Amino acid sequence: MNLQRARYLVALADEKSFTRAAVEMHVAQSALSQQIKVLEREVGVTLIDRRGPRISLTAAGEVAVREARFLLASADRAVQRIRQAAAGLEGELRVAHTRSWAGGVIADLINEYRRTFPEIEVSVYRGWTTRNADLAAEGSIDVAVIRPPIDSLSLIVRILESEQLLIAVPESHPFAGHRTIDRDALIDQPVVFWPRENGPGMYDRIVEQLWPKASPTVVRNEADDEQVLYAVAAGVGIAPIPRGRALTFRVPGVHLCEVAGPPMTLDVGIAYRPDNPNPALQCFLALIGNQPSGRVAGPT
């Protein structure tokens, strides 16, 4: 895909209008339209649905825009790395942590990476699994820390560790008198959760393990685990919580219970594009290759 045509396609996808996209790109509307038609002929499929009052992307167009964003981000990164090399620097690794996990093996890997490759700058961001995966797919970051499974054909997922899933209950709740509770006792209990779109795979994994026979009775959604725990402390309901987050926050008024039976766990891993050319990423993957616990989940 030609870089300039990729820029035209992304502008068109963002603006949803040939007129506004042409203004954004500082070209005549006819020239932009012609370049999009050339791109469609090159790939052999229709990318833009022009039938309605507003243009929209076809299914192939959605994929083309994602790939165009990755191509443009890679080109920008290449220019940046060339300039860094000219300045005597050696590159950058961009990592996006998930809000539900920032420690364990992954934190140890980042620390070891910094010690092993001190000349490489490590830039760290924090977001949700879904957003992190999107950023990795479009090339804005190199490594997305995620809660698998994720739905992405362009990313490789490597599972690095697992942690126990606990139940947080108010100290005034009858469950607070128990160290373990039976899974069937969770049915019909009011539940505090977080929005499923933040991490659909993790959300569904929790529900499959704790409420296999019926959906949880969610009475409130909170933005993140910390706010979930404060809602539990206020007596709003019970909540599933990863052990690491529960022990990190230690919110007063919250009692933690295990679920009886086989341990219930949540995986933590990283996702990356296998065609990402950044040498800093290859160094990071080589470091992970020395970890005996790593498992490759592959594109999902």
Q: Which of 111-125, 204-218, 227-241 has the lowest mean pLDDT?
A: 111-125
215-239: average pLDDT:
95
161-177: average pLDDT:
94
Same fold, 79-160+267-296 and 161-266: yes
Domain boundaries, given as residue ranges, for the chain: 3-75, 79-160+267-296, 161-266
What CATH class has 3-75? mainly alpha
Concatenating the DSSP letter of every residue in the chain gives --HHHHHHHHHHHHHSSHHHHHHHHTS-HHHHHHHHHHHHHHHTS--EE-SSSS-EE-HHHHHHHHHHHHHHHHHHHHHHHHHHHHTT---EEEEEEETTB--HHHHHHHHHHHHH-TTSEEEEEEE-HHHHHHHHHHTS-SEEEE-S----SS-EEEEEEEEEEEEEEETTSGGGG-SEE-GGGGTT-EEEE--GGG-HHHHHHHHHHH-SSS--EEEEE-SSHHHHHHHHHTTS-BEEEEHHHHHHH--TTEEEEEESSSPPEEEEEEEE-TT---HHHHHHHHHHTT-TT-EE----
Q: What is the CATH number of domain 79-160+267-296?
A: 3.40.190.10
pLDDT of residue 293: 45
**Architecture of domain 161-266 in this structure:** 3-Layer(aba) Sandwich (3.40)
pLDDT digits (tens, 9 = 90+) for 34-71: 999 999 999 999 999 988 778 899 999 999 999 999 88
